[in-house]
Amino acid sequence: MLDRVTSLQVFVKVADLGSLSAAARALGMSQTMASKHMAALEARLEVPLLVRSTRRMRLTDAGQTFLAQSRNILAQMDEAEAQVSARRERVTGRLRVSLPVSYGLRKIVPLLAAFSGRHPDLVLDLSFTDRKVDMLKEGWDLAVRITKMEDSSLMARRLAPCPLVMVAAPSYLERFGRPKRVSELTQHRCLGYTLGSQDASVWQFGGADKRRVVVNPCFRADNGDALMAAAVAGMGIAYQPLFIAEEALATGQLETLQLDQPWGEMDGIFAVFPATRHPEAKLRAFIDYLVEALR
């Protein structure tokens, strides 16, 4: 029986390099053996992963899905081995980290003094932007993102959940009334988030049916703090992550709106980093610390 891990390695190399012969050379095996591994993998899964032509191979839809999982499996195995074999590595050098503005300032920066105390030889180089940076092109070691994973060339580790909350200022509710059902939101002044592919006029709620409501934003912005400031000023209703609204809720500047559908939740807060066989000690240490501190 062929080794299943080697079969995954062959599959990923074929996907990266476009041919069995190139994958075989990269892995130091014969093309015949690489072909056997691919055949065994597809037979075990009972689905084709590659479409073969005379010049190049391309992934099927199933192959695209399986590629992301294969990368994760191999990277997790590498990480486990690296953690055991590199326990005595020193955490030094510079770590370039891209952070979303609101979450980075509220939740990450307050944790960094303790981390720096553990690793005084490491320099943290932070950039705050809500833009989805190109990690490989721009040379980032790590990015914290509030989104689902879409790029299979990156690895991700979940740091925390990201529940949403609907809020409005007491002054707004006194003037325009308090909605009781999500269908009433179409008659209210709403504040829409515009960054990335998110549609500022579509709000999604939780529950079994994942109901979507189309609102008419009177104010749009690509930053959550701007929307919270507008909400506190009584401009309209905001539907944003809880971590942005919790301070204004605690001081009474905002109130929550409980409707006939539960609030939704974003996919979570993720530490995202380039896929590599042996992540550096500084990257592992920082991610492990964030997981621990944000738990």
To the question of domain 162-265 being in CATH 3.40.190.10, the answer is yes
Of residues 197 and 104, which shows the higher confidence score?
104
Of residues 55 and 79, which shows the higher confidence score?
79
AA identity, residue 236: G
Q: Write the CB contacts of 18 (distance below 8 Å, at least 6 apart in sequence).
A: 56, 57, 58
pLDDT computed for residue 197 by the predictor:
64
Mean pLDDT, all residues of the chain: 89
Of residues 5 and 189, which shows the higher confidence score?
189
90 pLDDT band, cuts 50/70/90, is confident
Q: Quick one: which of 224, 243, 216, 280 has its CA closest to 108?
A: 243
Residue 283 structure tokens: 């990257």
Fold of 93-160+268-294: D-Maltodextrin-Binding Protein; domain 2 (3.40.190)
The CATH number of the domain covering residues in 4-85 = 1.10.10.10
Question: Is the predicted pLDDT of residue 166 greater than 70, yes or no?
Answer: yes
Going by DSSP bridges, is the β-strand pair 142-146/93-99 parallel, antiparallel, or unpaired?
Answer: parallel
Over residues 9-24, the mean pLDDT reads: 88
Give bridge partners of residue 95 from the DSSP assignment: 124
Question: One fold for both 93-160+268-294 and 162-265?
Answer: yes
Lowest mean pLDDT among 56-70, 100-114, 118-132: 56-70
Q: Write the CB contacts of 241 (distance below 8 Å, at least 6 apart in sequence).
A: 102, 103, 146, 162, 163, 164, 165, 224, 266
Contact 254, 232 (CB under 8 A): yes
pTM value is 0.66
pLDDT computed for residue 149 by the predictor:
61
Q: Any idea which residue has 């075989």 for tokens?
A: 24
Domain boundaries, the chain: 4-85, 93-160+268-294, 162-265
Residue range 22-67, pLDDT digits in tens? 888 988 999 999 889 888 888 888 999 888 776 677 888 888 889 9
Residue 182 structure tokens: 């999500």
